[in-house]
Amino acid sequence: MVEYIGIAGIQRIVGRMGPAAFIEGLAAEIEADYRRWGDFDKSARHAIHSPVGVIELMPTSDGQMYSFKYVNGHPKNTALGLLTVTAFGVLADVETGYPLLLSELTVSTALRTAAMSALAAKWLARPDSRVMALIGNGAQSEFQAIAFHHMLGIREFRLYDVDSQATDKLARNLEALGLPGLQLKRCRSAAEAVQGADIVTTVTADKRNAIILTPEMIAPGMHLNAVGGDCPGKTELHADILRRADARVIVEYEPQSRIEGEIQQLPADFAVTEFAQVLSGAASGRSAPAEVTIFDSVGFALEDYSALRYLHKLQQEDAQGQQHIDLIPDLDNPKNLFGLLAPAQGSPAGQNGAVSIQLEMTHDEHPA
């Protein structure tokens, strides 16, 4: 039996811990894995693009465990009442090839993206940062706000979205959490939102080369957390922001970011720093308070590996909450796979010689 975490499972796990504590714990797991960057088999994700979206597979392995994530990105889905991003993932044992965990990753991707954003900002933003502009107030925005409030001490969020109802939704959800010292300011434009901000997070969904931030919006000392530009032809920053003499651009995995990140707008020899180099001390993050740091975030498979490993650990710690799915056959004789389908000895086959098979379902799979 393979362990299984569905929507009810992630609700239970995060509900038990609280989203802030979950994100902080996940950020610690991601940092630990980035610190052993050299252990991982790394590749850019495999993407199949269509005019309306993308479907991707994101694999990696450290030689002990293997993981992959299936994820889509369809910005127009919200008009159909559907999510822009959905995902699931698998964690497997390399020695046997057997899957250990099948898990939802739609909610978990939002949690891990927020964890990665806050982790990068801890190393790149000014330590005295207290004000953040949050541009793009859709499905990922609450997670980003919780992460930055909890892990970096952000007290004021300046909110903007072209859809004012999305901003209203974000404000309601954050106010309902009762986060201590939290201040929210609704803004009428991206330019207004960035005024006085120490950190600017952009998390928009349009699959196009959008310009959410322009050079004149950027002040010395800002940290830019560019999350929404995460596939070919999808960007959020004017290229001249990246070219600033006082700017430092940090990426997750350079070969993937060259294809999908903000730096897809620039020549292949444009200098960037991988986040793992900052953690190892091989490269500096922020070198001066007035420097502009840019985290060109596209999401990398290592972060999903960390999330799946973290979820697997939390699931195993909760014996009563464990769920399983009969994904892999359990055989007395591993050479007799057909025996699963053969009728029991002495019992007749089904009508017209068809084999009668009874499927085993775990308690959470039985129809209501």
Domains of the chain: 2-107+303-325 (3.30.1780.10), 118-299 (3.40.50.720)
pLDDT score at 47:
93
Write the CB contacts of 368 (distance below 8 Å, at least 6 apart in sequence): none
In 3D space, the residue among 200, 256, 285, 269 whose CA is nearest the CA of residue 40 turns out to be 256
Look up residue 105 and give its two tokens: 């990753």
* Dihedral angle computed from the Cα positions of residues 343, 349, 355 and 357, in that order, rounded to the nearest 10 degrees: -60
Contact 360, 1 (CB under 8 A): no
Under the banding of pLDDT at 50, 70 and 90, the label for residue 275 is very high
What would the pLDDT profile of 127-167 be if each residue is shown by its tens digit? 999 999 999 999 999 999 999 999 999 999 999 999 999 99
Write the CB contacts of 291 (distance below 8 Å, at least 6 apart in sequence): 220, 221, 246, 247, 248
Cα distance between residue 163 and residue 159, in whole Å: 11
Catalytic residue among 33, 230, 296, 304: 230
Q: Across residues 83-105, what is the average pLDDT?
A: 97
Contact 271, 224 (CB under 8 A): no
Q: Across residues 237-266, what is the average pLDDT?
A: 97
- pLDDT of 286 above 60: yes
Q: Across residues 57-65, what is the average pLDDT?
A: 98
pLDDT score at 360:
43
Where does residue 46 rank: exposed (0-12), middle (13-18), buried (19+ CB within 10 A)?
exposed
Look up residue 115 and give its two tokens: 């964890």
Is 230 considered catalytic here? yes
Q: How many CA atoms lie within 13 A of 224 on its CB side?
A: 30
Distance of CA 194 to the CA centre of its chain: 24
Return the minimum-mean-pLDDT range out of 195-204, 337-346, 354-363: 354-363
Look up residue 176 and give its two tokens: 């309902």
Return the minimum-mean-pLDDT range out of 135-139, 171-175, 302-306, 318-322: 318-322
